[in-house]
Structure 1
Amino acid sequence: MSVLVKNISKVYGTQVAVNTISFELKKGEIVGFLGPNGAGKSTTMKIITGAISASKGEVSVCGFSINDNPKEVQKRIGYLPEHNPLYLDMYVREYLKFNASIYKIPYSEVELIIEKVGLTPEVSKKINQLSKGYRQRVGLAAALLHNPEVLILDEPTTGLDPNQLVEIRSLIKQVGKDKIVLLSTHIMQEVEAVCDRVLLINKGELVADKNLIELKQNQAQIIEVEFDFKIEKQFVNRIQGLKSANNIHDTIWELTFKTKEDKRSTIFDFAQENGLKILQMNAKNKNLESLFRELTT
């Protein structure tokens, strides 16, 4: 069981939305798909599902080509788009039974999925009476109804309150144990809480493919420091063990060290030796958010 994306591109006129990206997803992986707005995430997901065609390149899902066997691919994919398309005037159970009839699935499966996604308290309501969180559950139930091998979720937790976030994350982790899950989101904490791996896309190009365990093990140390007056970069570069220095604003610097050793004392000694005063200093690890900023700005 795998999803293989090979050199796909999507061009609209003269605008390149996706530019020759490749990656492979395997069973049991929950993969975060990150990037700024307009980077090409949703376009890539739509190409994988067959909702739109690529300008060039190949996609295969569980051994079936999206170009040669689109129906076989779509049978194996559960898709929750960013703008969850629901029939708002239908009741929850009615809507899911309607979906079950399309897939020729017994109605008994509808009751199982209702319980699995936590829709039981709201099952007799019309969809237009549901909160944002429960509407997302209905969309997720519809995506899971035919027990797909691949689950593609585009911003599945948008608009959810903290309690709903925890519940949906738990559900995604549970179903991801025996499926392939590709999850697009802007919430870095969500990726770190749920995902095993992250793909980062920027301006239509894949700029990073990282295992989160490796990312955490290889964390650099970042220290943000504010001096009492502005200094030049070549002067800052004298700090011992410094990997990189970024002047964030005026007298504020972001200093990166490739070590777990606390380097605040080194910066303090540097300031004292050179007649500088430190107005504030904060240490932080190089997490997913800082990697995102580094590769997309």
Structure 2
Amino acid sequence: MMNSKEIMAFKSYQSQAQVFMKEYLLADPLIPYTSIVAGIFSCKMIYDLTQLICTAYFKSYSSLSKIQRTEWNNRAMSTIHAIFITTMSLYLVFCSNLYSDGYSTELITVRSSPLSTFALGVSVGYFIADLGMIFWFYPSLGGYEYVIHHLLSLVAVAYAMLSGEGQLYTYMVLISETTTPGINLRWYLDVAGMKRTRAYVLNGVVIFIAWLVARILLFFYIFYHVYLHFDQVKQMHSFGQILVLIVPLVLSVMNLVWFSKIIKGLKKTLAKRQ
């Protein structure tokens, strides 16, 4: 238990940290820069910590090839980002009042806050770091489809962060990152030689359900929402309109292609279990 002096010291540090966050990290002119740096730095930290922890505590990690260890660490990085941005997206879209129709007279397409902008900047930092790794190790960490996906995401997220336009729809699309941890877990199970386990089958079923909800049905909802608020979308800058209309459309096509592969993989896995 902490004594009174330690509690006072802790509260003092907490107060100083809050002031620092408010006056520097979350000061409007600095948010884009500090958040991107925070995203890149976090990716580097997660990558290094994953390597350190797995080397010390997982014997199978050391037996992997160099590129497999790199992908292992990279997937840990993407998993943490997915958890962070999905949590922020769900909160801002469904729990906060920022994008509620009756919350403000301001157009829903131009609403933003320091928190929403900061979270997008962290995501921009992640996409920059991950794209850099994909290009450096190409095609070991992903082919052209990953490059297209990341470039589209980077441009759309960066524009929403810098301009403040279309943040609602950017966050709606980013909810689809909820499928990433399951995809990464499947790769980990495969590399660990657990393809024939019940966990691998259960993982496939979870991915199927999550993909259907977060990358198929959700995009129908996005298009419906755009349709209902199209009068506001038309008031955005031309480039913003293109991003709101084209990026979700392209990503939805890619999601459908990947979904067909998921269905085939799940059928094959279930057939082997019978």
TM-score range relative to shorter protein: under 0.3
Larger strand percent: 1
Normalised TM-score (structure 2): 0.24
Larger helix percent: 2
Normalised TM-score (structure 1): 0.22
- Max radius of gyration: which structure? 1
